[in-house]
């Protein structure tokens, strides 16, 4: 007898439909799974066998063949256990479920029959809705996550023993969807903790207003890491569509079990990370840190301690806002629209050549700073030289709170969205949009003079225009004036950093 069930396999942060075809026929007892399964899928044979027997079902002593279609798609993960078990019960005549073909199933089975949570329940629910499924059966713990997809019924299931009741039409209450928390959580780090440093505070505000990348250079203990950790508190709240994107990535990587983190993502990988860990990769390919930082911040502390090949891998994602991972089995495109925030010391000892205690040789300094290539530095919009604050500043009154700064940032973002479209900022302007920036005569002459004298690249020219447009948006100016252009040029000066 033949039975078919719907399920899905994760492909990056999205899901692909899979048809589980189970055939039970006469022959020597056996259980075969075909259709390019990985090790976790092949091991479903033992999990399904034990789960059905321990829940009181009869495991058929017949020849069992499970085909996962399409056969050309590699299947990965244990999320197809529930669909295989359900189709097997129907094929062996133990479960009469006429609607099984219109329902999707996703879940991992424990040996006692419990349905364990899986990764990517949100992406699977969205794929099931697009595939035309009337309902989706998921582990009870994944119910609120799958309900975020909307558009169809979500049925939570605790154990395989509950399948006969579901087939008879008895269903548990549909779970309420998770709340998308776009605002930072109460008690989150506040910019008021950054005492003194007026120039650095201005740089953070400009970076947040336009979504620009930022590099801070200064001695240890000057406040670079503290400033970076406070940057998410002055960013605008996530829109509903952006929060859903963040939730989808968190779901696919198993970070949505305890609920969606509040505010924008902030990722700070260690400098020993590999290129695959930062960009994404593995078998099957998994999202890297730049995808986990989508719509948020990626903080690279001690930038010059990262391997050069790891840093060079950032060049294309910074330009395009997505990363393409090519494998023999296919190509996966993952979103990575993030703000790069980096911090570095001026030399290996951290003191800098202006400090008399610095003993670093010129060759060592050149080798240390050479980790950051000119091509990558050209893609960083803001370069800030950070100095050690004085004792009076550290012991003085706290700085301006994040709420006040965020209000100005949000006002600047509203001007950008009115000009560019919903959810877009100046850092995402295309070349054609950059050329449409209105400059007064003094600003145009200043940019042209610097372009000729310093030999700026075309990319640096456009990024300077984007930065000047952000400075103008913060001040409420309709066009870029000479003062805004001068500020933008100062904020991009490499010799200061």
Between 428 and 196, whose confidence is greater?
Answer: 428
Is the model's pLDDT at 495 over the cut of 70?
A: no
Residue 108 and residue 137 in contact, taking contact as beta carbons nearer than 8 Å: no
Q: Are 100 and 86 in contact (CB under 8 A)?
A: yes
Residues 123 and 63 grouped into a single domain: yes
Whether 253 and 394 share a structural domain: yes
- Residue 62 and residue 18 share a domain: yes
Q: pLDDT tier at 448 (50, 70, 90 boundaries)? A: confident
Q: Do 434 and 351 belong together in one domain?
A: no
Q: pLDDT tens-digit profile of 55-99? A: 999 999 999 999 999 998 889 889 999 999 999 999 999 998 888
Residues 266 and 385 in one domain: yes
- Domain membership of residue 88 (yes or no) is yes
CATH of the domain at 9: 3.30.230.10
* 147-164 burial code (b ≥16 CB/10 A, e <16): bbbeebebbbbebbbbbb
Query: In this structure, are 127 and 52 located in the same domain?
Result: yes
Give the angle 259-262-265 at the CA atoms, nearest 5°: 105
Q: Looking at the predicted structure, is the pLDDT value of residue 261 above 80?
A: no
Does the pLDDT at position 392 exceed 70?
yes
Q: Please indicate whether residue 17 or residue 96 has the higher confidence score (pLDDT).
A: 17
CATH number at residue 370: 3.40.50.300
d(CA 148, CA 247): 9
Is 408 part of any domain?
A: no
Task: For residue 70, say if its preceding peptide bond is cis, omega within 30 degrees of 0.
Answer: yes
Task: Point out the domain boundary residue: 399, 417, 446.
Answer: 399
What is the per-residue pLDDT for 496? 45
Of 74 and 256, more confident: 74
Mean pLDDT of 343-360: 81
Cβ-proximal residues to 95 (8 Å cutoff; 6+ apart), any chain: 86, 89, 163, 164, 167
pLDDT surpasses 60 at 303 = yes
Is residue 105 domain-shared with residue 195, that is, in the same domain?
Answer: no
Distance CA 321, CA 338 (A): 7
Same domain for 258 and 133, yes or no, is: no
Pairing mode, strands 14-25 and 30-34: unpaired
More confident residue, 163 or 181: 163
What's the number of domains the chain is made of? 3
Last residue of a domain, one of 352, 380, 399: 399
Quick check: 147 pLDDT over 60? yes
Q: What is residue 4's predicted lDDT score, i.e. its pLDDT? A: 94
Does residue 311 lie in a domain region? Answer: yes
Domain containing 252 equals 191-399
296 and 207, same domain (yes or no) = yes
Does residue 461 share a domain with residue 338?
A: no
- Residues 220 and 332 grouped into a single domain: yes
What mean pLDDT is predicted for residues 246-261? Answer: 79
Identify the pLDDT of residue 367.
86
CATH number of the domain bearing residue 470: 1.10.8.60
Evaluate whether residue 186 is within a structural domain.
no
Is omega for the bond preceding 451 within 30 degrees of 0, making it cis?
no
Q: Answer whether residue 415 is part of any domain.
A: no
Is 343 inside any structural domain? yes
- Residue 267 domain flag: yes
The whole-number average pLDDT for the span 419-423 is: 91
Average pLDDT score over the chain: 89
Of 399, 418, 443, the one marking the end of a domain is: 399
Residue 262's pLDDT band, with cuts at 50, 70 and 90, is: low
Task: Please compute the mean of the pLDDT values over residues 122-147 and round it to a whole number.
Answer: 94
Least confident of 197-211, 294-308, 329-343: 329-343
Q: Are 86 and 66 in contact (CB under 8 A)?
A: no
DSSP state letters, 348-388? TTSS-TTSTT----HHHHHHHHTTS-HHHHTT--EEEE--P
Position 414 scores a pLDDT of 95
Give the separation between CA 372 and CA 303, rounded to whole angstroms.
8
* 448 lies in some domain: yes
Same domain, 244 and 299: yes
């Amino acid at each position: 007898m033949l039975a078919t069930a719907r399920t899905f396999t994760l492909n990056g942060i999205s899901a692909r439909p899979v048809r589980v075809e189970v055939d039970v026929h006469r022959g020597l007892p056996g259980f075969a799974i075909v259709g390019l399964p990985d090790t976790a899928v092949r091991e479903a044979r033992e999990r399904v066998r034990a789960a059905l027997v321990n829940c009181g079902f009869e495991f058929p002593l017949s020849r069992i063949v499970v085909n996962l279609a399409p056969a050309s798609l590699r299947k990965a993960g244990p999320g197809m256990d529930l669909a295989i078990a359900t189709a097997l019960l129907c094929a062996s005549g133990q479960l009469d479920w006429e609607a099984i073909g219109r329902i999707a199933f996703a879940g991992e089975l424990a040996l006692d029959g419990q349905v364990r949570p899986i990764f990517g329940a949100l992406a699977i629910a969205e794929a099931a809705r697009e595939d035309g499924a009337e309902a989706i059966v998921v582990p009870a713990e994944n119910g609120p996550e799958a309900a975020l997809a909307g558009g169809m019924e979500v049925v939570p299931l605790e154990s395989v023993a509950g399948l006969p009741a579901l087939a008879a039409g008895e269903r548990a209450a549909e779970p309420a969807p998770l709340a998308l928390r776009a605002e930072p959580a109460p008690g989150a780090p506040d910019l008021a903790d950054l005492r003194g440093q007026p120039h650095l505070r201005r740089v953070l505000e400009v970076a947040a207003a336009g979504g620009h990348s930022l590099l801070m250079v200064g001695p240890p203990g000057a406040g670079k890491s503290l400033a970076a950790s406070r940057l998410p508190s002055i960013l605008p709240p996530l829109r509903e569509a952006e929060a859903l994107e963040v939730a989808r990535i968190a779901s696919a990587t198993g970070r949505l079990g305890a609920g969606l983190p509040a505010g924008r993502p902030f990722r700070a990988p260690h400098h020993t990370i590999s290129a695959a860990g930062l960009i994404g990769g593995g078998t099957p390919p998994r999202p890297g840190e730049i995808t986990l930082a989508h719509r948020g911040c990626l903080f690279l502390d001690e930038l010059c301690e990262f391997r050069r090949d790891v840093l060079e891998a950032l060049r294309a994602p910074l330009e395009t806002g997505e990363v393409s991972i090519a494998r023999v089995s296919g190509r996966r495109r993952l979103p990575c629209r993030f703000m790069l925030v980096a911090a570095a010391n001026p030399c290996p000892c951290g003191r800098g050549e202006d400090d008399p205690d610095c003993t670093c040789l010129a060759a060592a300094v050149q080798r240390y700073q050479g980790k950051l290539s000119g091509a990558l530095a050209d893609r960083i919009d803001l370069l800030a030289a950070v100095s050690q604050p004085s004792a009076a500043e550290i012991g003085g009154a706290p700085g301006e709170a994040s709420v006040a700064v965020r209000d100005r940032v949000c006002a600047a973002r509203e001007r950008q969205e009115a000009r560019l479209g919903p959810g877009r900022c100046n850092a995402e302007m295309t070349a054609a949009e950059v050329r449409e920036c209105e400059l007064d005569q003094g600003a145009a002459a200043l940019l042209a003079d610097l372009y000729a004298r310093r030999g700026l690249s075309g990319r640096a020219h456009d990024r300077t225009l984007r930065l000047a447009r952000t400075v103008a948006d913060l001040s409420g100016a309709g066009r870029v004036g000479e003062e805004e252009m001068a500020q933008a040029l100062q904020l991009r000066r490499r010799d200061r950093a």
